[in-house]
Amino acid sequence: MYAIISDVHSNLDALRAVIDDIRKRTPSVGILFLGDIVGYGPEPNECIEIIKDIASFLIAGNHDWASVGLTDIEYFNPDAREAILWTQNVLRVEGSEFLKGLPLTAEVGDIFLVHGTPKEPQDWHYLIYLEDAEENFNYFKGNICFLGHSHIPFIIERAGDGSLRTLGKRVKIKSGSRYIINPGSVGQPRDRDPRASYAILKGDEVEIIRVAYPIENTQRKMKTLGLPRALIERLALGR
Ligand code: ZN
């Protein structure tokens, strides 16, 4: 059994709520982390400490690498860039060393982990549509790929005959099929549901779970620290 979490983005309140929810369901679960511990939010060091402690397998996201100078921030939008520069200033040495050591992909038995796409992990492309998924099924082994980056939860199934479809929030894994699954974002959901999002894989069942957290609390901290207004407002809108 695994809990799969992604895109925490320095949102400690959301991360705590998700961990509480996971622990309530089961005290012993492996946690797989799909990248972007930091960026956007107010508590990067605290989130690094927790993820470091609880994740059994973890990989880098573009914001993790950007905040330690490993990837260019030219293509970041101005608010995201401002938050990265702020993060670079407040990151503690242990935290940045830790982020520098994160790999781009990981394999956990039959499960493949990547932040952007299996085809080009280092280029941070988004995988959102079925046509993007189709090609990417050729770039990982095993039957399930978990990925993040878009902050939009989904489950895509490729049946034995090659046909693709998007499924609901709770799915039984079939032995002849393969899957690309985005658990959504813990710290900055973008599917118009502001609650934190993560996934549980238990036996042959995968489920996307939503958890409410005190958004105003996070917004207050961001305001005090002078983080960009649009980043504060979007948390309540889930976009
Ligand atoms: Zn992200």
CA of 185 to the centre of ligand 1 (A): 7
Residue 12 has pLDDT above 90, yes or no: yes
Pairing between β-strand 111-114 and β-strand 105-108 as defined by DSSP bridges? antiparallel
At residue 52, the pLDDT reads 97
* CA nearest to 150, candidates 34, 32, 70: 34
CA of 167 to the centre of ligand 1 (A): 22
Residues paired with residue 33 on neighbouring β-strands, in sequence order: 5, 58
CA of 160 to the centre of ligand 1 (A): 31
Phi, psi of 165, deg, nearest 5: -155, 155
Evaluate whether 8 touches 40 at the Cβ level (below 8 Å): no
At residue 217, the pLDDT reads 98
Determine what percent of the chain is predicted with pLDDT higher than 90.
96
Average pLDDT over residues 170-177: 95
CA of 126 to the centre of ligand 1 (A): 10
**Structure letter (DSSP) for residue 177:** -
At residue 176, the pLDDT reads 93
Opening angle at CA 157, ends 155 and 159, nearest 5: 170
CA of 202 to the centre of ligand 1 (A): 25
CA of 175 to the centre of ligand 1 (A): 31
Identify each DSSP E strand in the chain by its residue range: 2-5, 30-33, 57-58, 105-108, 111-114, 144-147, 154-158, 164-167, 170-172, 178-182, 196-202, 205-211
Whole-number Å distance between alpha carbons of 18 and 139: 30
Average pLDDT over residues 181-187: 98
The tens digit of pLDDT for each residue in 14-62 reads: 999 999 999 999 878 999 999 999 999 999 999 999 999 999 999 999 9
Contacts of 141 by beta carbon, 8 Å cutoff, 6+ apart: 107, 112
The tens digit of pLDDT for each residue in 144-165 reads: 999 999 999 999 999 999 999 9
Compute the half-sphere exposure of residue 1: CA atoms within 13 Å on the CB side of its CA: 10
CA of 197 to the centre of ligand 1 (A): 12
**Across all residues in the chain, what is the average pLDDT?**
97
The tens digit of pLDDT for each residue in 199-214 reads: 999 999 999 999 999 9
CA of 209 to the centre of ligand 1 (A): 18
The tens digit of pLDDT for each residue in 93-120 reads: 999 999 999 999 999 999 999 999 999 9
At residue 204, the pLDDT reads 94
Contacts of 126 by beta carbon, 8 Å cutoff, 6+ apart: 116, 117, 132, 149, 150
CA of 204 to the centre of ligand 1 (A): 27
Length of the chain: 239
CA of 176 to the centre of ligand 1 (A): 31
CA of 151 to the centre of ligand 1 (A): 6
Average pLDDT over residues 184-197: 98
Element (H, E) at 15: helix 12-25
CA of 23 to the centre of ligand 1 (A): 24
* pTM for this model (two decimals): 0.96
CA of 106 to the centre of ligand 1 (A): 18
Residue 236 has pLDDT above 90, yes or no: yes
Instruction: With cut-offs at 50, 70 and 90, classify the pLDDT of residue 174.
Output: very high
CA of 161 to the centre of ligand 1 (A): 33
CA of 150 to the centre of ligand 1 (A): 7
Average pLDDT over residues 175-192: 97
Cβ atoms within 10 Å, residue 53: 8
At residue 198, the pLDDT reads 98
Residues paired with residue 158 on neighbouring β-strands, in sequence order: 164, 178
CA of 40 to the centre of ligand 1 (A): 9
CA of 187 to the centre of ligand 1 (A): 9
CA of 190 to the centre of ligand 1 (A): 10
* CATH value of 2-237 in 1.10.357.10, 3.30.565.10, 3.60.21.10, 3.40.47.10: 3.60.21.10
